[in-house]
Structures are given as structure tokens and as C-alpha cells.
Amino acid sequence: MSDRRLEVDGVSKRYGDTVALSGMTFEVRAGEIFGFVGSNGAGKTTTMRIALGVLAADAGEVRWDGTPVTLETRSRIGYMPEERGLYPRMKVGEQLEYLARLHGLTRVDAVRATAEWTERLGVAGRLGDEVQKLSLGNQQRVQLAAALVHHPEILVLDEPFSGLDPVAVDVMSEVLREKCADGVPVIFSSHQLDLVERISDRVGIVRAGRMVAVGTVAELRSGGTEELVVEAPQAAQGWADALPGVTVLTQDGGRTVLSLGTDADDQAVLRAALATGPVREFARRQPSLTELFRHVVSAQDKPEEAAA
């Protein structure tokens, strides 16, 4: 596997008085799926559009394999724009062949790649139909085929999963995995955080035009505090209050959620719980990406978040 990487380095962009990106920096390695998450308006789409050269950055640089991305590099990127872009009145097959040829494929290769990808994505039967006659889900599959049809070296997909049914989500994830195994860096954005958690190798959380947290899901979790769930039906109110390093988050009947500080001993908690009577459940809970995301976004951004 190559160690080529797509680097977004200190990219800034303003629209008039609005700062869209300020020093956005991260990298995506070849053979890695990078999940890009953030609130609406945080700068995900702007970053992707700048990487594709559809938008010019005010400052900063996007590099592939150490050299700044040029139009030539871009023709080897597979791009799925957030607002889908296909000619509504053009036939699926002709459209994909056209896009493939614009990216430099010969006619024969374009026809072959179109057949291959429409087959793979389950829209081969619609090659002769106009795009506007397809359901939204199928249009989405065609859109993905358009991003893949020229055998791209890099994939940049803005919200590829939105509007897809579970079967299509599986097909799409599988394709991304496969591309990634071929050594293609894949960057995608999504608001479906469980999905991002499941398929991404690394995740970047973006807020107000900056990357605020980046790493594997496990790495991101290690930054957060650990939680413990204890189900002890006979426990009295405040049974755990006196334990050192432990904060009770909620207690609802017999179910208590605790957060453990660095000096806390979970075994001491278990003993205290057993002292109250039977313990039905005792579990460490790792925060989900959704919780991490809420934490990262809300902790640092109280005033502005209300507007977004």
C-alpha cells in the first residue's frame, strides 16, 4: 500500500463577512476511509469544493502525494457534490459515458466502465432512461456511478448516504471499502454518525471552519470520560455519592449512570453496589460518536451553535 496522502493544509475561505473556513487542516491517507462530520454550515462542503477546485481558497493549499492539486489531478478525483448534479433530461448511460470521457477515458473504456458500475450499483436496467425518470434513490446510485466511472485515484463524496435505503447503504459502504482496499483515499461527509462510526477508519469533527478533533473513533473516545452503568434494584438514593472520583450522572430507580474520574476504582463501585443488594447489570459504556460529537460541538461553541 502506498503512503500517498491527500493533505488539506491551512485552507481558509471567506464569503464577504462570513468566515467559512479558517485554517482547515487534515490529511487522508491512501487506503483509508475518512469520515467528515460537523454541524450544518461548519465548512465540510466548502472544504470539499475547494479540494475539487470548484471553489478557490483564500489561503492554504490542497496537496496530493506532496504536490499541489491541479486540474490534472482533479480529473482523477471522483466527486459527488452535495447538491446532486446530473443532466435531468439525459439518459443514464449516455450521461455516465460522457462524464467518463470528460475525465479522459476512451469511448470503449467509458462504455465498459459505465456497464460495470451500473451493474454493480443495481441500475443497469435503467441505462436507457432519462435521469429525471428515476427515483431519488436510483438517481443517487447513478450519481455515485458518476463519481466512480473514471476509475478515480481519490474519492471525495459529499453526503453520499443521504436518502439511501438500507440495502443501498450496504452496497455503497461495500464499494467504499473496496475502493479503499485498492489504495484509494476516501473522504466522505455525513450526518449519520452511527454509519460514520461503523465504516470510517478515521473521523474528523469540524466546527466553525476548523478541524476540532481528528483520529480513529477509539482515539477520540479516549479523550472523553468513561461511564459506568449499574443496575441495582434495591440501591437507595445516593448510594454512590461518597465513592472517591465518581460522579453520579443520573439515577433512575435502580439504574445509575456514573462517570469515572482518573482516580476512581470501578471495583470499589461494584463492591458498593453489591452492598445494596443484587446487581443485575454492571457495564462500562464507551461514548458513541454521536455523544462525542455533541460534546465537542456544544462544549466549545455555546454562543454560535444556537444559530446553526
Partner 1 sequence: MTTPDKLRIGSREAIRLVAVREITVRIRSKAFLVLLAITAAAAVAIPLISHYANLSSGPTRIAVVQQDASLAPALQATAAQLGQKVTVSTVADRATGVDQVRSGDVAVLAESGPQGIRATVKKSLSTPLNQLFQVVDQQAALNAQITKLGGDPATVGQAVASAKVQVTELQPAKARNGQRLTIAIVAALLLYMTLMFVGQSVAQGVVEEKSSRVVELLLSTLRPWQLLAGKVFGTGLLGLIQMLVPAVLGVGVGLFTGALSLSLGSSIGTVAWALAWYGVGFALYALVFAALGATVSRQEDVGGLVLPATAPLILAWVVGISVVPSNPESSLVEWLSMVPPCAPVLMPMRIAMGVAPLWEMLLSLVLALAFSGVLLRFAGRIYRNAVLRSGARIPLREALKAA
Binding residues (CB under 8 A) for partner 1: these are 49, 52-56, 71-72, 74-77, 79, 81, 83-90, 94, 98-99, 101-106, 109, 113, 116, 146, 151, 153, 182
Output 59 or 102, the one with its CB closest to partner 1.
Answer: 102
Output 56 or 283, the one with its CB closest to partner 1.
Answer: 56
Sheet of 210-215: strand order equals: 77-80, 154-158, 186-189, 33-38, 202-207, 210-215
Output 124 or 272, the one with its CB closest to partner 1.
Answer: 124
What are the residues whose beta carbons fall under 8 Å from the beta carbon of 73, sequence distance 6 or more? 64, 67
Report the candidate in 16, 21, 18, 14 with the shortest Cα–Cα distance to residue 43: 21
- Could you tell me the smallest distance in angstroms from the CB atom of residue 69 to partner 1? 11
Output 89 or 280, the one with its CB closest to partner 1.
Answer: 89
- Could you tell me the smallest distance in angstroms from the CB atom of residue 158 to partner 1? 10
Amino acid at 105: L
Output 43 or 254, the one with its CB closest to partner 1.
Answer: 43
Output 19 or 115, the one with its CB closest to partner 1.
Answer: 115
Q: Report the interhelical angle of 166-181 vs 136-148 (nearest 10°).
A: 10
Output 77 or 203, the one with its CB closest to partner 1.
Answer: 77
- Could you tell me the smallest distance in angstroms from the CB atom of residue 113 to partner 1? 7
- Could you tell me the smallest distance in angstroms from the CB atom of residue 159 to partner 1? 13
- Could you tell me the smallest distance in angstroms from the CB atom of residue 85 to partner 1? 4
Q: What are phi and psi of 158, to 5 degrees?
A: -95, 110
- Could you tell me the smallest distance in angstroms from the CB atom of residue 91 to partner 1? 9
As a whole number of angstroms, the distance between CA 155 and CA 153 comes to: 7
For residues 212, 207, 154, 74, the Cα torsion angle rounded to the nearest 10 degrees is -120
Cell 444559530 maps to which residue? Answer: 307
- Could you tell me the smallest distance in angstroms from the CB atom of residue 188 to partner 1? 16
Output 71 or 283, the one with its CB closest to partner 1.
Answer: 71
- Could you tell me the smallest distance in angstroms from the CB atom of residue 88 to partner 1? 6
- Could you tell me the smallest distance in angstroms from the CB atom of residue 57 to partner 1? 12
Output 148 or 213, the one with its CB closest to partner 1.
Answer: 148
